[in-house]
Amino acid sequence: MTIWVPSLECFSGPRYRAIAQSIGAAISAGELAPGERLPPQRRLADALGVTVGTVTRGYAEAEHHGWVTARVGSGTFVKQSEPRTVFDMAWQPSDDSDVIDLSLSLPPPHPLRLQAFSAALKAMSESPSAVTRVSYLDARGAEGHRERLAGWLAQLGMSLDADELLITQGGQHGISLVLSTLLRPGELMATDALTYPGAISAAQQAHLKMVGIAFDESGMCMEALEAQCARQPPRLIYVTPDQNNPTGACLSEARREQLVALARRYDSWLLEDGVQYLPAEQRGTPLYQLAPERTLFVFSTAKVLAGGLRIGVLRTPDKLLERLAAGLRAQSWMVPPLMVDIACYWIAQPEAASLLAWQTEELAARQQLVTEVLSDYTLGRSHNGSNVWLTLPEGSRAIELCERLQLEGVKVSNAEPFCVGSTPAPQAIRICIGAAADRQTLTQALNVIKQCLAQPPLATVTV
Ligand SMILES: Cc1ncc(COP(=O)(O)O)c(C=O)c1O
């Protein structure tokens, strides 16, 4: 019987390694099939003119790479490819595992998130009401779902009526639904000069004009907004009153009153975004309470439960309900009830409250770490916020710092993605402290940031 004999010429290095590499190459080329037995070691040693020990070492090396498996008494076999389930197929492991990525605004990881998700799936598979999950429902979402979500929002200190809610596929969908349904192409949206990039792209997709209004740590400057209104009143004003993303600025109570007065005077809609969750005691009076007749409010489960759920709510004045429901129906008929069921089951469990309590404390502890490591710098943030806005010292450039940090294995954002229109980007970075795997990893990243900040700027030369 002829046996498979590799040709070792193309592989450099010691012979045993060449044998292992030739096995790997033959598997990739389909020359050796999954489950196929490799030649007995003595026969291959004779055919290659090497010692049995060399072949043994080569096989062991191939096994170490995960290409083959040795079975005592039977020989060495090419590994069977693992059966891929439909779940594995969707999963793309990150190739950036060496980088501490603090560029995305995520809630801090905790095993409870996955446990709660699995528990919801299990409970649902045993529940008899599965039929509602595969049927068409009201575009606004099932009444029972809206009531459950309204009940949960009440626990979070947001007093909203189930009848004024539409269920959306996350906060981003809520924003985009409002902009595409209520505004016509070419109409004007005003917002803080630096704002959540998803709102900028939703406005671009809806072909709106955008104007960035100056703001400070107390939020949007009302003089600047008033001047804009006098020139050209915006059809809609988009705000994140409790916590600007990226800067953490919080709109003062006085300015909330002024904002509402201006919106009434110039007949603008208000789009209030509360997705960046803060505990009730750190939030101001909601605009939907101050001006219920003109405020649309978006919230989502993303920063409290998990971003991948894609479940949010949109609160709307009564008179817009039908229009927005028609818009949602035109886009996707409705939000998949399956995902709403998962969210509704999850929020009804006591673990949801424990997770949020943990997260609130965890973020406070992480903010404290930021204070300890980066206290020499100007920082914008909320006590329990998941982002930190660090203004660079005079003479430093954010793009350069981000590049340097990336080389050191830390990823953060500069101001560019947050700039509305041609607003010049301030020299600052956003650090998403929630995204770190744990406090130790965060401390490591913060120290890298501190070291990079202390280095003198690189001299770049160009012609
Ligand atoms: C201010 C703000 N609004 C909306 C969103 C989008 O939320 P969702 O993931 O629920 O679509 C984000 C996401 O980071 C955000 O920061």
| Domains in the chain with CATH codes | 15-78 (1.10.10.10), 100-107+352-454 (3.90.1150.10), 112-348 (3.40.640.10)
How would residue 112 be classed by pLDDT, with cut points 50, 70 and 90? confident
The structure tokens 């709403």 sit at 340
Phi and psi dihedrals of 386, rounded to 5?
-100, 5
Strand-pairing partners, residue 193, are none
**CA nearest neighbour of 198 among 303, 290, 343:** 303
Q: Residue 281 corresponds to which amino acid?
A: E
Closest ligand 1 atom to the C-alpha of 172? 11
Closest ligand 1 atom to the C-alpha of 175? 4
Helix orientation angle between 143-155 and 337-348, rounded to the nearest 10 degrees: 40
Across the range 314-331, mean pLDDT stands at 98
Q: What is the CB < 6 Å shell around ligand 1?
A: 105, 170-172, 196, 198, 240, 245, 273, 275-276, 300, 302, 307, 312
How would residue 408 be classed by pLDDT, with cut points 50, 70 and 90? very high
- Three-state SS for the chain is CCCCCCCCCCCCCCHHHHHHHHHHHHHHCCCCCCCCECCCHHHHHHHHCCCHHHHHHHHHHHHHCCCEEEECCCEEEECCCCCCCHHHHHCCCCCCCCCEECCCCCCCCCHHHHHHHHHHHHHHHCCHHHHHHHCCCCCCCCHHHHHHHHHHHHHCCCCCCHHHEEEECCHHHHHHHHHHHHCCCCCEEEEECECCHHHHHHHHHCCCEEEEECEECCEECHHHHHHHHHHCCCCEEEECCCCCCCCCCCCCHHHHHHHHHHHHHHCCEEEEECCCCCCHHHCCCCHHHHCCCCEEEEEECCCCCCHHHCCEEEECCHHHHHHHHHHHHHHHCCCCHHHHHHHHHHHHCHHHHHHHHHHHHHHHHHHHHHHHHHCCCEEECCCCCCEEEEECCCCCCHHHHHHHHHHCCEECEECHHHECCCCCCCCEEEEEHHHCCCHHHHHHHHHHHHHHHHCCCCCCCCC
The structure tokens 């998700």 sit at 117
Closest ligand 1 atom to the C-alpha of 307? 9
Q: Residue 14 corresponds to which amino acid?
A: P
Q: Residue 133 corresponds to which amino acid?
A: R
Residues 423 and 210: beta-carbon distance below 8 Å? no
Query: Residue 460's pLDDT is what?
Result: 67
Residue ID of nearest Cα to ligand 1 atom 12 = 275
Is the pLDDT at 198 greater than 70? The verdict is yes
Q: How many CA atoms lie within 13 A of 100 on its CB side?
A: 22
Cα(345) to centroid(ligand 1), Å = 22
Cα(169) to centroid(ligand 1), Å = 11
Higher model confidence: residue 462 or residue 53? Answer: 53
The structure tokens 């012979």 sit at 15
Cα(199) to centroid(ligand 1), Å = 9
Query: Residue 337's pLDDT is what?
Result: 92
Is the pLDDT at 92 greater than 90? The verdict is no
Question: Distance (Å, rounded) from C-alpha 270 to C-alpha 265?
Answer: 12
Which of 103, 166, 172, 278 for a ligand 1 pocket mutation test, highest count of atoms within 8 Å of Cβ? 172
Give the tens place of pLDDT for each residue, 242-292. 999 999 999 999 999 999 999 999 999 999 999 999 999 999 999 999 999
Across the range 300-317, mean pLDDT stands at 97
Q: How many CA atoms lie within 13 A of 128 on its CB side?
A: 0
Phi-psi category of residue 13: left, alpha or beta, with phi > 0 → left and psi -120 to 50 → alpha: left
Cα(85) to centroid(ligand 1), Å = 31
CA distances from 384 to 248, 291, 373, 389, 439 (A): 10, 27, 17, 14, 15
User: For the range 155-160, what are the long-range contacts, defined as Cβ-Cβ under 8 Å and sequence gap of 24 or more?
Assistant: 155/353, 156/277, 156/280, 156/304, 156/356, 157/279, 157/280, 157/283, 158/274, 158/286, 158/299, 159/289, 160/288, 160/297, 160/313, 160/315
Query: Residue 72's pLDDT is what?
Result: 86
Question: Distance (Å, rounded) from C-alpha 191 to C-alpha 232?
Answer: 14
Which of 104, 276, 296, 389 for a ligand 1 pocket mutation test, highest count of atoms within 8 Å of Cβ? 276
Is the pLDDT at 93 greater than 80? The verdict is no
Give the tens place of pLDDT for each residue, 141-181. 999 999 999 999 999 999 999 999 999 999 999 999 999 99
Query: Residue 13's pLDDT is what?
Result: 79
Cα(276) to centroid(ligand 1), Å = 7
CA 173 to chain centre: 14
**CA nearest neighbour of 3 among 29, 48, 38:** 38
How would residue 96 be classed by pLDDT, with cut points 50, 70 and 90? low
Cα(283) to centroid(ligand 1), Å = 17
Give the tens place of pLDDT for each residue, 326-384. 999 999 999 999 999 999 999 999 989 999 999 999 999 999 999 999 999 999 999 89
Query: Residue 85's pLDDT is what?
Result: 63
54-68, 226-240, 295-309: range with lowest mean pLDDT: 54-68
Across the range 1-12, mean pLDDT stands at 82
Is the pLDDT at 410 greater than 90? The verdict is yes
Cα(196) to centroid(ligand 1), Å = 8
> Would strands 295-300 and 269-273 be described as parallel, antiparallel, or unpaired?
parallel
Closest ligand 1 atom to the C-alpha of 104? 14
Cα(36) to centroid(ligand 1), Å = 51
pTM of the model: 0.82
Is the pLDDT at 455 greater than 80? The verdict is yes
